[in-house]
């Protein structure tokens, strides 16, 4: 993939992608304004974070384990990701919830497992 890339296309793609992304992020705030008083919005605001974060964590776990669609299931890699996730949870709960420590421990474990064991 070393064919020359048109700089104009790079800039245009960046502008288009940026505009679409900004619209997706900003529009709901304008649409939401009349909803602010509603009981539904209040409940969603309280209920969503834990679930949304759990979904992000699970989907990221699946991606880290290369379990994404199309890819064949890589058993040993899934096992590594599960072990590293379990370690992250353990360190976080037992280590008085120091975020950096938990992330560092989990990531180090995964890097070591993937590079040394697989």
Partner 1 sequence: MHATSDAVAPPPSAASGAGDRRSEVLLGIRLSGPAGLGLFPLGVAFGMLVVQAGLPGWAAPLLSVVVFAGSVELLLVGLIAAATPLAAVAVTVLLVNFRHVFYAFGFPLHVVRSRAARIYSMGALIDEAYAIAAAHPRGWTAPRLLAMQVSLHLYWVLGGVAGVGVAGLLPAPVEGLEFALTALFTVLALDAARTRRHLPLVLAAAAAVGVALLVAPGGLLVTSFLVFVGVLVVAHAAAARGARLPLPEPDPATDPAPVLGAAGPVESRSQDADRGRRTG
Query: How far apart are CB 48 and partner 1 at their closest, in Å?
Result: 6
Residue 16 CA to residue 14 CA, distance in Å, equals: 6
Which of 39, 72, 73, 94 touches partner 1 by CB under 8 A?
Answer: 39
- Token reading at 118: 């697989």
Query: Residue 67: which residues within 8 A CB-CB, separation 6 or more?
Result: 73, 74, 78
Look-up: residue for tokens 């199309």? 70
Q: Does 9 bind partner 1 (CB under 8 A)?
A: yes
Q: Among residue numbers 49 through 68, which ones bind partner 1 (CB under 8 A)?
A: 49-64, 68
Which of 37, 72, 73, 94 touches partner 1 by CB under 8 A?
Answer: 37
DSSP category for residue 33: G
Which of 7, 72, 73, 94 touches partner 1 by CB under 8 A?
Answer: 7
Residue 76 CA to residue 118 CA, distance in Å, equals: 7
Q: Does 99 bind partner 1 (CB under 8 A)?
A: yes
Q: Does 94 bind partner 1 (CB under 8 A)?
A: no
């Amino acid at each position: 993939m070393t064919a020359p890339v048109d700089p104009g296309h790079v800039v245009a793609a960046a502008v288009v992608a940026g505009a679409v992304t900004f619209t997706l992020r900003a529009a709901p705030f304008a649409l939401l304004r009349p909803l602010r008083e509603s009981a539904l919005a209040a409940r969603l605001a309280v209920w969503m974070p834990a679930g949304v974060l759990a979904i992000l964590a699970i989907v990221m776990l699946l991606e880290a384990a290369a379990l994404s669609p199309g890819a064949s299931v890589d058993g040993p890699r899934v096992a590594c990701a599960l072990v590293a996730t379990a370690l992250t949870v353990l360190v976080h709960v037992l280590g008085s919830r120091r975020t950096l420590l938990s992330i560092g421990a989990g990531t180090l474990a995964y890097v070591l497992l993937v590079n040394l064991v697989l």
